[in-house]
Structure 1
Amino acid sequence: MIILDRPYVSKFLKCSASRQNLPVLDTAQARALAGDADLRFTPAASFFPEAKSTRIYANSENSLELIMRELKGSPLASMIEICKDKLLFRETISDMYPEYGFAEVDAEDLDAFDPSVLPLPFIVKPARGFFSLGVHRVESDDDWPEISEAIRNETDRLNDQYPSEVVSAGTYIAEEAIGGREYAVDVYWDENGRPVVLNILHHPFGSEDDVSDRLYYTSDEVMRSMLKPVTEFAAELGKVCGFRDFPAHVEIRVLKSGRIIPIEANPLRFAGWCVADITRHAWGFDPYEYYFTNRQPDWNDLLEKRAGTTTAMTIGDIPADVDRKKLDGFDHDAFESLFDTVLELREIDWEKYPVFAFVFSRTDNANLPRLMKLLEEDFRHYLR
């Protein structure tokens, strides 16, 4: 069963839902996004009772408020709440990471918060958040007045742009900055709580204070080095949180010691904005179908077939000082020239979101340095 909602539903996801004949919750948003896709629309009166006893997927966290209301008190609602409330998530896994410091920060009492209660640097972000929205890095106690002012200025904008179940800028969590490499994991836990990893994406940054989502990539090298430790970590996480028949997009950091610390777990979906489709581009299988049919990838075979290949997703983000209302488009050819092989380019409504495109691309592992240069690229050069 699947719920389709804004901000974006890919053609691939719609085709997958149609091919599998999945019940799709009948909403005005789903019908508008469906276009001419042949989907099995199902009214809420029958959709949600059935959803209590079968697997469900929601491509957008905009749907979580509805799900939580309709399935209140269910095991699924409890699993969602553990993920969405970042404070509850930290409390739930605190026995796994007793050394990790975090604190609640009320947006109305920013001036009263004492930044010295946490070791530096630390991150502050909405307790319910998405897409790196409202994320700030505090390097010094002296940074706090400026950052608290920035939080005040963005609170109304974030709450207006996204439902409270997706981003709530009323309460923030301040937590230790985690060093090491960052990865994003698409995983589901089966009926026995066993994790099935569907993809692992490396998320590099341009600098220590970079919190953007510009670049993610996967490769045979990434999977060979991370599959075993990530699967073991996911098994422990699922046990502590009680995950069953549950998909998630989990962001993690890997320390030099190899210890994995989760940043957050995004419930009931894989990578947002249908970026989960990168699994099809990289490995040739449908992650949505694997979840609904309880299948797991044959990684030994896949890694042999895709040896030496890197598949990436790049967000064409718009600099904050650009007036998006004045944009007419972007130079497709020049933008695509940044990549070795463009597999798919998705244009995004830049009047609504500070993004003009998502690009899926492929290159040889040896050309990874060229891909990393995208972290320093000023994309305003490609805007009209």
Structure 2
Amino acid sequence: MFILDDPYVSDFLKQTVLSRKGAVLDNAKARVSLNDEASDVRLLDDEEFAAEARKAPRIYANSENAIGWIAANLADTKLPAMIDVFKDKVAFRDLIAPLYPDYFYKGVAYDDLDDVDPEELFYPCVVKPAVGFFSLGVHRVESAADWKPIVQKIRDEVERIRQYYPPEVLDVDRFVIEQCIEGEEFAVDAFYDGDGNVVIVNILGHLFASADDVSDRVYITSPSIIERWREPFTEFLAELGRRANLADFPVHVEMRVDENGHIAPIEVNPMRFAGWCVTDLAYHAYGVNPYACYLDGAAPDWERILPQREGNVYAVVVADIAPDVDCASIVQVNYEEFKNRFSTPLELRPVDYKRYGVFAFLFAQAREDDLSELHAILGSDLKEFMKLG
């Protein structure tokens, strides 16, 4: 069963839905995405879909916009409780607090940010929306002297951010202030099967331009990343699943690993894999369909897959628009020039930048011993690809 919603339904997800001839919640996004091929699937209204969902073991939602519908229509099922503990970052920190007794975090209302005593915080720390998406509204604070300037930056951003996503996806009325987790950052697409066992369908390494970079510009996956981290991440997610009683549930988990190998979660995004259908990178990289894996309860055959891709890296580049660029002033984006910046582009996905503040997602391939193209794009403001009016 599928719930399709904004911001984006990829052709790959669409073809997966059509090939499975499954049940799809009848909404505006589903009809637009499936076009004339909607007759090849079962479009069910709210009542019909909810009735079938109570019997079906697995639902996949491509967007957290679906969370509001699930809360309203499936309140008598296990889904809302599993979602709630992860969607609110403060509730999530409460859940895992026994595992990290020395970790500092604090929930605060947006209206009360100015009242926070910066001398009482643990530095460096991160302040971000309690219910968030991408790195919108996320800021790193190095010292007490930086607190008030950062709060002002947040206030300057809030109105611009609010227009992009509904509160179920991005709620800027509440924030969490938490201790910075140092180390390498990873994002994991995984699901819990009917018995609560963890199945990983991809692992992404997060590249940064600098220590204070909090953007989502570049993520990479490779056989060496999968081989190194699949087992320890599976063990960690199994413990998380036990604490939250998870089963038949997909997640996109962001975490850091310090120099001693200690794993600490940043956040867990429920009911989906990587947002904006970025999870499709698993297909480009490994021929793995993450949606089919979850719905069938099947694990990728990593022992067979990985040796065939050794030495390669597969990346997704998020062409986010710099905060100092007014999206309304963009006259044109040179997508071809952006695509040609990479020697082995795999797929370019243009985005309505006036609506979302991102002009494209690009999948690309590189050699593990040469990531120069990816590091170069990390340091770009991307204005070279835009014609501004």
Instruction: Give the TM-score band, short-chain normalised.
Output: over 0.9
Determine which of 341, 344, 356 is the counterpart of 2:344. Answer: 341
Equivalence for 2:20: 20
TM-score (norm: length of structure 2): 0.96
Determine which of 272, 277, 296 is the counterpart of 1:274. Answer: 277
Query: What CA deviation, in whole Å up to 9, does each residue of 1:222-252 have, x standing for no partner?
Result: 1111111111111111111111100010000
Q: CA deviation at 1:73?
A: 4.2
Determine which of 37, 40, 48 is the counterpart of 1:46. Answer: 48
Equivalence for 2:213: 210
| Structure 2 Cα separation of the partners of residues 151 and 324 of structure 1 | 18
| Match status 1:144 vs 2:110 | no
Determine which of 172, 175, 186 is the counterpart of 1:169. Answer: 172
| Structure 2 Cα separation of the partners of residues 167 and 308 of structure 1 | 37
Q: Is contact 2:24–2:43 with CA below 8 Å preserved after alignment?
A: yes
Alignment coverage as a number of residue pairs: 384
For the residue of structure 2 that corresponds to 1:158, the secondary structure is helix
Distance 1:227 1:208, change over 3 A: same
Equivalence for 1:357: 360
| Structure 1 Cα separation of the partners of residues 318 and 119 of structure 2 | 35
Percent of matched pairs sharing the same residue: 45
For the residue of structure 2 that corresponds to 1:345, the secondary structure is strand
Amino acid at match of 1:47: F
Distance 1:374 1:244, change over 3 A: same
Q: Is contact 1:219–1:311 with CA below 8 Å preserved after alignment?
A: yes
Larger mean CA deviation between 9-18 and 140-149 belongs to 140-149
Q: Is contact 1:18–1:39 with CA below 8 Å preserved after alignment?
A: yes
Equivalence for 2:242: 239
Q: CA deviation at 1:42?
A: 1.3
Amino acid at match of 2:42: R
Equivalence for 1:10: 10
Query: What CA deviation, in whole Å up to 9, does each residue of 1:302-339 have, x standing for no partner?
Result: 11111111110001122222232232332233212221
Equivalence for 1:69: 72
TM-score (norm: length of structure 1): 0.97
Query: What CA deviation, in whole Å up to 9, does each residue of 1:46-94 have, x standing for no partner?
Result: 1112212321111011111111111124211100001101100000111
| Structure 1 Cα separation of the partners of residues 87 and 172 of structure 2 | 13
| Structure 1 Cα separation of the partners of residues 242 and 86 of structure 2 | 14
| Structure 1 Cα separation of the partners of residues 366 and 163 of structure 2 | 39
For the residue of structure 2 that corresponds to 1:132, the secondary structure is coil
Amino acid at match of 1:6: D
Amino acid at match of 1:233: F
Equivalence for 1:30: 30
| Match status 1:303 vs 2:317 | no
| Structure 1 Cα separation of the partners of residues 340 and 164 of structure 2 | 33
Determine which of 97, 122, 126 is the counterpart of 1:94. Answer: 97
Q: CA deviation at 1:152?
A: 2.7
| Structure 2 Cα separation of the partners of residues 348 and 370 of structure 1 | 22
Q: Is contact 2:187–2:203 with CA below 8 Å preserved after alignment?
A: yes
Matches within 5 A, 1:97-176: 97-176=100-179
Q: Is contact 1:198–1:279 with CA below 8 Å preserved after alignment?
A: yes
For the residue of structure 1 that corresponds to 2:211, the secondary structure is coil
Query: What CA deviation, in whole Å up to 9, does each residue of 1:189-223 have, x standing for no partner?
Result: 01111100000000011111111110001001111
Query: What CA deviation, in whole Å up to 9, does each residue of 1:134-164 have, x standing for no partner?
Result: 1111111111111222223333443343211
Q: CA RMSD in A?
A: 1.4
Unmatched runs of 5 consecutive residues or more in structure 2: none
Equivalence for 2:380: 377
